[in-house]
Structures are given as structure tokens and as C-alpha cells.
């Protein structure tokens, strides 16, 4: 649809043949973008400049209501990267009043140095994928490489729970793919992450970390299964009055009934709380943990100073506002001992 494009430039060559009875016209032909012709899809936000190839449509010789769309080595430049697509798609009811049906795919796509950006997210990398199969069980297989990127999100701190700021929920992926007949897409894709920066903002708190790893995505797009290893190569929780270094991250990808990719996360980080602002005579170590998933994470804080204990509210007041720890010692144990 033309409303999916924000701009189009250049010229194309076209050869089209129309034949058959008026009630059942048949269309055949090819469209060949001339060198430098470009379109800018709204979803991509970047110009796609064609450098070679064509797209041809022909009527099926075996099934009257089917057409075959053949992509003939279509290659394009996208910013500093490139993409290549080749193969066929069989489509039914393309020119009659019935709903269009995508009946079979046999496509191959390759790309390098592509960069996608949307809102506060950006990813750069490449891919080598094939899409094969009929409408009942199409299959996407191959590799995706994330060379670099940044993911940013905002959270709210509510009574020691970190919760994602509410926003417009996106439709499940299988629903987004339904218009092109891929709601039953089967997956067999390896994902390599070389350098992915993750940032989370919580008022005056900031998480800054770098992820690396390898994942395998399989099963259905309705309920995908992710396996593999994600490593936090470096990371910090930065508070106004303390800095915590991530030491023990654990990230797992359980299968969710609704098909969402929402990892379970456990993070242990440690930081030193230094005098004189703490009101203590010596430096003390504080342990910070986060436990939960991306919808809700439980924050815990713990300091053990030579037998003196501090509740997490006291610690949080210090690392957020600089309120001295010495005013919040827990003397319940001493009082109990004296009473005995």
C-alpha cells in the first residue's frame, strides 16, 4: 500500500500484459527499478536505493486463481549497508474480490551493515535467512548477527519494585504477521550478539550494561523458545550517592503462554559506601539484587557492618538522597540481648 511509504524517487521500467475474459483478467509482467531508484518505507525510516534486479508476476499454469511473484536478484543499498532478496511467492486471489492468500514461500535474503532505529532502540548487523514452505507451516531459518546496538527503556520505582512505565502494548508477533499469511511461522534462527548496550532509566537511577552472547530461536512464532547464553560483559547501577558494579547476572528465557519474549532476570551487584557522608567510621560494602522479569523486578539492598544491620529503606535513602546510614542502625538485637 502506498501509505506504507513516506517517499519514492527515481524511475522504473515496466512491461505488463493483461489478458483473458473481463470477469477473470490475468496480469503478467515485470517491474525493473532503474539504478538509483528508491523508496522509503515508513516502518524502516531509511531510503532503499535499488541497484539491480527485478520483480515479475506471472499466472500459475496449474492453479487458475494463483499468481507467482518472482523476485529476481533484487539488491539495494540502505544507508551504508546492503540487502539482497531472491525467490518466489505463490499468491491466490490477487485480482478478485476474495481475500488474498499467501500459499507458498521460497525466498532467500542476505544483508550486511544494516542499521534499524525506532524510538530509543537501535540495532546494526546482518542476516542470512531463508523462508520456505506452504501456508500451513512456513519455516524461517538462518542466522542474524547483531554487531552493535542500544536498547533503552524507562522504569518506575514503587515500594522496592521496578516496573516498566505503562505504554501502548504491541500486538503479538503472530498477529502482526497474519496479513501476509505467516501467523503459523516456524522458527530455526541463530542469533549472535557481539555488542548490545542496554540502558534503563529510573528517575535519578541509571542502569548501563553491555550484553554479548548467542541464542537459538525455534518453535512457533506464537510461542517461541529461546535457548543459549547471554553474558553481561560489563555493567553498573548508578545512583546519586553510590555506584554498583554488576558481578553475577543470570538471564533465562522461559516459554510464555502468550508468546512474549520476557526474560527472567537475576542480577547481583556490589558497591562501596564511603565515609564521611555515611556517618560511619569506615567504608562498608553494599549488595544490590534485582529479581523478576522485565514487567516487574524486586529490588533488595543489604549492608552488614561488623554486626550492625540496616534495613533496605535506610540504605535506599542514603544512595538516593545521601541521608546518613548511622541514623538507621537496627538495634533490635542489642535491645533483646539487654532485656534477656
Map grid coordinates 533488595 to a residue.
300
What's the CA dihedral at 291, 292, 295, 297 to 10 degrees? -20
* pLDDT at res. 299: 94
* pLDDT at res. 153: 87
Average pLDDT for the chain: 85
d(CA 123, CA 100): 33
Regarding pTM above 0.85, the answer is no
What stretch of H or E contains 214?
strand 205-220
Q: Give yes or no for residue 69 having a pLDDT over 60.
A: yes
* pLDDT at res. 180: 86
Residues β-bridged to residue 108: 86, 130
> What is 113-178 written as a DSSP string?
EEEEEETTEEEEEEEEEEEEEETTS-EEEEEEEEEEEEEEEEEEEETTEEEEPP-PPPPPHHHHHG
Give the angle 210-214-216 at the CA atoms, nearest 5°.
Answer: 135
* pLDDT at res. 266: 93
pLDDT tens-digit series, residues 129-140: 999 999 889 999
Map grid coordinates 515496466 to a residue.
14
Cβ atoms of residues 297 and 291 within 8 Å:
yes
* pLDDT at res. 294: 86
**Average pLDDT in the 123-152 region?**
95
Percent of all residues in the chain with a pLDDT value above 70, rounded to a whole number: 88
d(CA 263, CA 291): 11
- pLDDT-wise least confident of 2-6, 169-173, 202-206: 2-6
Residue 334's pLDDT band (boundaries 50, 70, 90)?
A: very low
pLDDT tens-digit series, residues 226-251: 999 888 888 999 999 999 999 988 88
Q: Give yes or no for residue 337 having a pLDDT over 50.
A: no
* pLDDT at res. 2: 46
d(CA 105, CA 30): 19
Cα distances (Å, whole numbers) of residue 6 to 40, 45, 180: 6, 8, 21
Cα distances (Å, whole numbers) of residue 288 to 38, 242, 328, 329, 335: 51, 11, 18, 18, 28
d(CA 104, CA 94): 14
**Average pLDDT in the 160-164 region?**
89
Burial of 33 by CB count in 10 Å (0-12 exposed, 13-18 middle, 19+ buried)?
A: buried
**Average pLDDT in the 94-109 region?**
85
Amino acid at each position: 500500500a502506498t501509505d506504507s511509504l513516506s517517499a519514492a524517487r527515481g524511475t522504473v521500467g515496466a512491461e505488463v500484459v493483461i489478458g483473458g475474459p473481463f470477469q477473470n483478467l490475468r496480469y503478467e509482467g515485470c517491474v525493473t527499478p532503474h539504478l538509483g531508484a528508491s523508496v522509503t518505507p515508513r516502518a524502516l525510516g531509511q531510503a532503499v536505493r535499488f541497484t539491480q534486479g527485478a520483480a515479475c508476476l506471472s499466472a500459475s499454469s496449474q492453479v487458475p486463481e494463483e499468481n507467482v511473484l518472482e523476485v529476481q536478484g533484487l539488491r539495494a543499498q540502505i544507508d551504508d549497508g546492503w540487502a539482497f532478496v531472491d525467490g518466489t511467492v505463490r499468491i491466490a486471489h490477487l485480482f478478485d474480490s476474495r481475500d488474498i492468500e499467501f500459499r507458498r514461500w521460497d525466498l532467500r535474503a542476505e544483508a550486511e551493515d544494516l542499521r534499524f532505529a525506532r524510538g530509543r532502540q537501535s540495532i546494526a548487523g546482518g542476516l542470512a535467512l531463508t523462508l520456505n514452505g506452504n501456508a500451513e507451516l512456513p519455516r524461517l531459518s538462518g542466522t542474524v548477527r547483531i554487531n552493535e546496538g542500544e536498547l533503552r527503556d524507562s522504569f518506575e520505582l514503587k515500594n522496592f519494585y521496578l516496573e516498566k512505565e505503562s505504554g501502548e502494548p504491541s500486538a503479538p508477533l503472530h498477529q502482526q504477521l497474519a496479513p501476509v499469511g505467516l501467523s503459523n511461522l516456524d522458527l530455526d534462527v541463530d542469533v549472535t550478539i557481539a555488542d548490545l548496550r542496554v540502558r534503563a532509566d529510573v528517575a535519578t537511577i541509571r542502569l548501563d550494561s553491555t550484553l554479548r552472547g548467542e541464542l537459538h530461536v525455534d518453535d512457533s512464532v506464537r510461542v517461541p523458545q529461546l535457548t543459549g547464553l547471554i553474558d553481561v560483559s560489563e555493567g553498573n547501577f548508578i545512583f546519586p550517592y553510590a555506584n554498583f558494579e554488576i558481578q553475577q547476572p543470570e538471564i533465562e528465557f522461559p516459554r510464555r503462554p502468550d508468546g512474549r519474549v520476557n526474560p527472567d532476570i537475576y542480577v547481583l551487584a556490589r558497591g562501596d559506601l564511603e565515609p564521611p557522608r555515611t556517618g560511619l567510621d569506615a567504608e562498608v560494602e553494599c549488595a544490590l539484587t534485582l529479581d523478576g522479569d522485565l514487567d516487574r523486578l524486586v529490588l533488595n539492598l543489604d549492608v552488614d557492618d561488623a554486626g550492625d544491620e540496616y534495613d533496605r529503606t535506610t540504605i535506599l535513602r542514603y544512595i538516593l538522597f545521601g541521608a546518613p546510614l548511622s541514623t538507621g542502625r537496627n538495634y533490635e538485637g542489642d535491645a533483646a540481648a539487654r532485656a534477656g
